[in-house]
């Protein structure tokens, strides 16, 4: 969520396919919903990789012509979860334009491959790996793919997340929905860091960017209790991770988006009452763009934010600062 939330709906990154294409589009905003391949579970118990697991150093990057200058992520290896569409795809394209080699991780193969194709068409370098971020074995394999493909890992962008349609108030949200949202949105970030941190250490350090949400900072009368709780957990996890690894060359920061324009959001805005109830709270009077959030993520991923760790960067069009919005 990557995330484009206005009230009850969020643009999220792709995870395991749901039971029907219609439900999947509404809850996960999959751009290529007609091409879905279930993920196969890998056998054996998962284990945490150690610093010495990957012995080869980061290979020198072959410049592709995507940019004729040294970018802010030049020669860096970036892993982005939920990179098949929306904010994840925008970040993949921007990071590649800044010199990064991008590992596109997504549960929907067609969407992830489309992002890789877009990066390559622009002259960048990218590879795809299928993953359900709530599955430890698949997350471990995802990090292994980054290390074996490009010889290192320097930026981990935990962007994936979900908001099911039945995530509502504390009385109405089904327990199974609560469990699944926490499993993906919070456990998924935990697993990404669990397997990503040793790879970052083996690569000489780097940056972790975890996507939270403005709803982790503010309450809403249009509730999404599981989603809100999960994103609050991401903030707490990020702070603790940042302090633990601050003297080991790893920075960790959280990104809190407000409403970000996606096809689903634009569909919902066709309902005048739905739009009125939500857009009035955005002082800038419009949703954000995926590219705007990607630029904020680039700042946290790059050395431009070299003295920032444990911080929360809010990109919400002024929502969290407002008491009364302009007319």
pLDDT in the model for residue 226:
97
The span from the CA of 236 to the CA of 232, in Å, is 7
pLDDT of residue 267: 63
Beta strands in the chain (DSSP E): 4-6, 9-11, 77-81, 101-106, 125-130, 155-158, 206-211, 250-257, 312-315
Instruction: Write the CA distances from 229 to 121, 174, 209, 260, 288, integer angstroms.
Output: 39, 14, 19, 20, 23
Asked whether residue 39 is domain-assigned, the answer is no
Would you say residue 267 lies in a domain? yes
Strands (E), 141-205: 155-158
Domain hosting 192: range is 4-30+68-318
CA angle 109, 137, 226 (to 5 degrees): 80
Task: State residue 276's pLDDT score.
Answer: 79
CATH of the domain at 255: 3.40.50.720
Tell me if 46 is assigned to some domain.
no
**Residue 327 placed within a domain:** no
pLDDT of residue 313: 98
Is residue 195 in a domain?
yes
pLDDT in tens, the chain (327 residues): 444 333 333 333 333 333 343 333 333 333 333 332 333 333 344 454 544 466 544 443 443 445 456 799 999 999 999 999 999 999 999 999 999 999 999 999 999 999 999 999 999 999 999 999 999 999 999 999 999 999 999 999 999 999 888 999 999 999 999 999 999 999 999 999 999 999 999 999 999 999 999 999 999 888 899 999 999 999 999 999 999 999 999 999 999 999 988 665 676 677 787 777 778 899 998 899 999 999 999 999 999 999 999 999 999 999 999 988 887
Is 85 contained in some domain?
Answer: yes
The residue count for the chain: 327
pLDDT value of position 315: 97
Confidence at residue 298, expressed as pLDDT on a 0 to 100 scale: 98
Q: Does 57 fall in a domain? A: no
Q: Which residues are catalytic?
A: 227
Number of domains, the chain: 1
- Quick one: pLDDT at residue 69? 67
107 domain-assigned: yes
State how far the Cα of 252 lies from the Cα of 191, in Å rounded to an integer.
Answer: 15
Closest CA to 326 of 317, 9, 265, 271: 317
């Amino acid at each position: 969520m990557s995330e484009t939330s206005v009230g009850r709906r969020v643009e999220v990154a792709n995870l395991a396919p749901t039971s029907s294409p219609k439900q999947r589009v509404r809850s996960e905003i999959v751009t290529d919903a007609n091409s879905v391949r279930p993920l196969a579970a890998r056998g054996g118990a998962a284990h945490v990789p150690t610093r010495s697991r990957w012995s080869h150093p980061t290979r020198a990057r072959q410049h592709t012509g995507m940019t004729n200058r040294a970018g802010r992520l030049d020669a860096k290896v970036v892993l982005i979860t939920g990179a098949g569409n929306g904010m994840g795809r925008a970040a993949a394209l921007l990071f590649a334009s800044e010199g990064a080699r991008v590992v596109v991780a997504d549960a929907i193969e067609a969407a992830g491959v489309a992002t890789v194709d877009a990066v390559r068409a622009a002259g960048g370098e990218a590879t795809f790996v299928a993953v359900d971020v709530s599955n430890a074995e698949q997350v471990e394999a995802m990090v292994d793919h980054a290390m074996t493909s490009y010889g290192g890992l320097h930026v981990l962008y935990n962007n994936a997340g979900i908001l099911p349609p039945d995530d509502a108030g504390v009385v109405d949200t089904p327990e199974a929905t609560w469990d699944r949202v926490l499993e993906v949105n919070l456990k998924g970030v935990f697993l990404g860091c669990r397997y990503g941190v040793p790879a970052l250490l083996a690569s000489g350090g780097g940056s972790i960017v975890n996507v939270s949400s403005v709803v982790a900072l503010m309450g809403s009368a249009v509730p999404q209790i599981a989603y809100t709780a999960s994103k609050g957990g991401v903030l707490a996890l990020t702070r603790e991770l940042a302090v633990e690894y601050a003297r080991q060359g790893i920075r960790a920061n959280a990104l809190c988006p407000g409403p970000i324009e996606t096809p689903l959001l634009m569909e919902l805005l066709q309902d005048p009452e739905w739009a009125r109830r939500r857009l009035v709270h955005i002082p800038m009077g419009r949703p954000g763009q995926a590219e705007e959030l990607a630029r904020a993520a680039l700042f946290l991923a790059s050395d431009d934010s070299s003295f920032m760790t444990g911080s929360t960067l809010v990109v919400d069009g002024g929502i969290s600062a407002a008491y009364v919005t302009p007319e």
